[in-house]
Amino acid sequence: MSYIGKAQRLFNGPKDGAKHGEPAMVRKEYRIVLAAIAVFTALAGLGFVIHGLLFEAGASFRYGMAAVVVGIAGFVMLLNPTPKDDA
């Protein structure tokens, strides 16, 4: 069997209750996009935190910390599997 055939069987084979032709790991695409946005939100928040610390801007520091917390929490929440996920 060729490598392509093995790869197709690995990714498209019926595993863990998946129907034939479906990928074994199903992840909602919109959740991945939102998780990527959450990561960039956390990185931007980190930039605001550093800016607030360097230039003694209290509001920038507070809003930056809030963005970091929301970004990390959103990332973790969006990539956790839900009961509706098949794989």
Residues 40-49 pLDDT 10s? 999 999 999 9
What's the whole-model pTM score? 0.66
State the average pLDDT over residues 17-38: 73
Instruction: Output the CA torsion 75→80→85→87 (10° steps).
Output: 120
In percent, the amount of the chain with pLDDT more than 70 equals: 67
- Contact of 24 with 35, CB cutoff 8 Å: no
In the predicted structure, residue 31 carries a pLDDT above the cut 80: yes
Helix (H, G, I), strand (E, B) or coil at 52: helix
Reported as a single tens digit per residue, the pLDDT across 55-71 is 999 999 999 999 999 99
Cα(54)–Cα(50) distance, integer angstroms:
6
pLDDT at 61: 96
| Domain edges within the chain | 27-79
